[in-house]
Amino acid sequence: MAAPADMSSGVAMPSGPSLLRRFAAADDAATVDVIAPFTGEALHALPVSTPADVDAALRRAREAQARWAAVPVRERARIMLRFHDLVLQRRHEAMDILQWETGKARRDALEEVLDVCVVSRYYARRAPRLLRPRRRAAALPVLVGVREIRKPVGVVGIIAPWNYPLTLAASDAVPALLAGNAVIVKPDPQTSLIAAWVAEQFLLAGLPDGLFTVVTGDGPVVGGAVIDAVDYVMFTGSSATGRVVAERCARRLIGCSLELGGKNAMIVRADADLRRAAEIAVRACFANSGQLCISMERIYVHDDAYDEFVARFIPRVLSLRLSARPGWGADMGVLISTEHLDRVRAHVDEAVAAGATPLAGGRSRPDIGPTAYEPTVLEGVREDMAVCRDETFGPVAALYRVRDDDEAVRLANDTRYGLNASVITRDLRAGQRLAARLRTGSVNVNEGYAASWGSTAAPMGGVGESGLGHRHGEGGLLAYTERQTIATQRLLGFGPQLGLDDETWGQALSAAVGLMKRLGL
């Protein structure tokens, strides 16, 4: 493991008094201390919302949404483009808050900022086209005219986790707002300040007050109140909590989209460029300290390439610079909390005690920071170990030898999850064919996760216990709308016409249906 990154941060811990006023909470609200992962010290006292605060936020949101839905889509898009510019211009503020709240490396914080900009630009440019009324084929051409229009669902609830708190609050809110909805965001208490920063940028961009509201507090109480109030839920988090959210939405018969956990696999084929494969694997496994739903936790390497891959991969892992300080210069930050550190450490310690071998890492680093954990690579992991089956959500990857592509696909698919995967190969056609055999929502050929996630025009979601629905792509905006069909009958109707009796009219209709087939209609 490389020495800690040597950097003078010059980055002050954000107190955020103005941002703390952005939360929907009473002046005398109870507070909880938010702990900085870098230091273990209190970052700020977070005011906690109550179900009554959620109700008040909902009333304001519904009033604002009724006016917002009448605003032309192109004007909504202009506001989102101004939001894009503000996020980019004030990115250093955002990165400061992200680092202090999450403990991530600054380059991982920048990734969030750029993602929000890309998503905002994509939807702002395309919303007018996606939301315009569309003509649809009619039951009887000429005699019936049919239009499909899109209406906002009303108020969207976004329940965002702590690992990518800027991306998963702002980037989901942008398409919901463009579709004409109001948004209530319930971030994780640990990362609520960045959500308040997002609210401030929306207001500065010209978004009317009341359309984007941040409520704070724990999931079961405040998150539950949000689900019980809104018209659609976007949730990102664990599979266990996702089930609870889905059941609660189902009882109310409202829609939801859920991006949940993953135990993602990378396949390194025999023909892979192993220097490049090692570089990709380091980024795919240890970005954001492995606290990424779409990162790689299992690496299946063809037996012919295994030894050389390990010889190239492990030195790169050992050279990663780990730091518990804000600013540039680190390859990896720290974990979000001591509780999460305990989970990661338990997975590794259990595996090692049962016979797995750490080729790199395998220990916490309190000398660096209270939640620091070395990037870890394990060999000899068995299927009965938790680190093989359960999502670790930390800087831990396991290596496995495989005989051929078929075995790699079988093992990669042998999981209850199905979020993301990676195939490393020189033969792109073979890689794409192998990718199509994997049971996941996305597959990256010669990348870990950035190619699919960053391609905002393509849908992003999971199968199995990795979720329901998708973000990104056209569906990532249209999910926040209701379809309405307006059919206009002209001239003749569907009942007997022209004085014909039922039998004769039925024969005429039958002949018309047959003619439509012959005409290719």
Q: Catalytic residues, which ones?
A: 259, 293
Per DSSP, the three-state class of 508 is helix
CA distance to 153, 343, 359, 364, per residue, from 246 (Å): 17, 25, 40, 36
Tell me the C-alpha distance between 487 and 148, whole Å.
9
Name 339's Cβ contacts closer than 8 Å, sequence gap at least 6.
none
Tell me the C-alpha distance between 45 and 31, whole Å.
6
Residues 441/419, Cβ–Cβ less than 8 Å: yes
Name 277's Cβ contacts closer than 8 Å, sequence gap at least 6.
268, 305, 309, 312, 313, 424
Residue with tokens 């020189």: 426
Residues 199/173, Cβ–Cβ less than 8 Å: no
Name 451's Cβ contacts closer than 8 Å, sequence gap at least 6.
444, 445
- Taking residue 198's Cβ as centre, other Cβ atoms within 10 Å add up to 27
Residues 350/385, Cβ–Cβ less than 8 Å: yes
Return the amino acid letter for 347. Answer: H
Tell me the C-alpha distance between 111 and 104, whole Å.
11
CA distance to 146, 174, 343, 473, 487, per residue, from 149 (Å): 10, 20, 48, 19, 11
Degrees, nearest 5: CA angle 73-467-94: 55
Go through the chain and tell me how many residues it has.
Answer: 521
Give, as one character, the DSSP assignment of residue 69: T
| Letter string b/e over residues 410-449, b meaning 16 or more CB atoms within 10 A of that residue's CB | ebbeebebbbbbbbbbeeeeebeebbebbbbbbbbbbbbb
Nearest-CA neighbor of 331 among 376, 289, 383?
A: 289
Six-digit token pair at 72?
């032309």
Return the amino acid letter for 392. Answer: T
Residues 193/97, Cβ–Cβ less than 8 Å: yes
**Displacement of CA 429 from its chain's centroid (Å):** 28
Residue with tokens 């939807």: 123
Tell me the C-alpha distance between 456 and 214, whole Å.
25
Tell me the C-alpha distance between 288 and 375, whole Å.
11
Longest CA–CA span in the chain (Å) reads 93
